[in-house]
A and B are shown apart, each in its own frame.
Chain A
Amino acid sequence: MLSCQSASRLVSQSLDRPLHWQEKLALRFHLAICRHCRRFAKQLNQLRSAVKTMMQRTEADASIVLNPEAKARIMHIIQQHH
């Protein structure tokens, strides 16, 4: 029987690698009887989609522009190299 600690680690790793079938089975069994870890697994998904939204908003936010000083510096460097 997995502990919640081990189960939480497997839930996290399942986002990064395919679990072995033994791990999958053990995790599925644990999640079936543990609502805390089920909630944790759901939260990691919520976290992931929120982070995606956050990144997309930054990328789409036209009010965020390259600082004019930085832009001038880059222009200067481009010139120096030609």
Chain B
Amino acid sequence: MTSTAHEWLNAHGDYLYRFALARLRDAHLAEDAVQETFLAAIKNPNFAAQSSPRTWLTGILKHKIIDTMRKGQREVVASDLMNEEDANMDEFFDATGHWAEKPIAWNMPSDALEQKQFLGILQNCMDKLPKKLAALFLMRDVHETDNEEICKELQITTTNAWVMLYRARMSLRKCLEINWITG
């Protein structure tokens, strides 16, 4: 059993790490999630019977990623959901509800080099978001986790989730607009 686990770590460890890193965007958190995944796997009685270990391990990892997000949840509530007024994001709009700065059309990347630059800027913009907010945004906006499931797992209300996702999208949009070529 132990040798199977070792084989799996060698065969799937890097893949699982990349999967976690793509979502958690933090090397240490991603390593820990992979570690927790293997711990859970070897404790599972169905361990040896898995015909498709990678799919099975990835399923466990998804839950570990949500666990990681949940651990930092209080922090998010404190910093991002202080009150309704804050959630109104007044900085983006004037007193009459009009755009304080009107959105400018983006020149989307037209070749591989531009694409790389664009993704680099996006990466920087994501790094500026509070980590857990970025993780929630990633979980949601790649369409792989159901909204209600996220809320249940993170123990937040759906209304809170909408507010948080709105904040994340507004901040990212603004950051991209400032840093990417517009015109």
Residues of A within 8 A of B (CB): 3-6, 8-9, 12-13, 15-17, 36, 39-40, 43-44, 46-48, 50-62, 64-67, 70-71, 73-75, 77-79, 81-82
| Complex interface: chain B residues within 8 A of A46 (CB) | 106, 108
Taking the closest CB of chain B, its distance from the CB of A31, in whole angstroms, is 13
How many A-B residue pairs lie within 8 Å, measured between CB atoms?
141
* Main DSSP-derived SS at the A contact region: helix
| Contact, CB under 8 Å: A58 / B35 | no
Taking the closest CB of chain B, its distance from the CB of A73, in whole angstroms, is 7
| Contact, CB under 8 Å: B119 / A70 | no
Q: List 18 A-B contacts (CB under 8 A).
A: A12-B162, A15-B165, A16-B140, A16-B161, A36-B99, A36-B103, A43-B173, A46-B108, A51-B138, A52-B141, A53-B115, A55-B22, A58-B22, A59-B22, A60-B18, A64-B18, A66-B17, A82-B42
| Contact, CB under 8 Å: B102 / A36 | yes
- Which of under 10, 10 to 19, 20 to 34, or 35 or more describes the interface residues of B? 35 or more
| Complex interface: chain A residues within 8 A of B19 (CB) | 59
- Of A13, A65, A73, A75, which one neighbours B14 at CB under 8 angstroms? A65
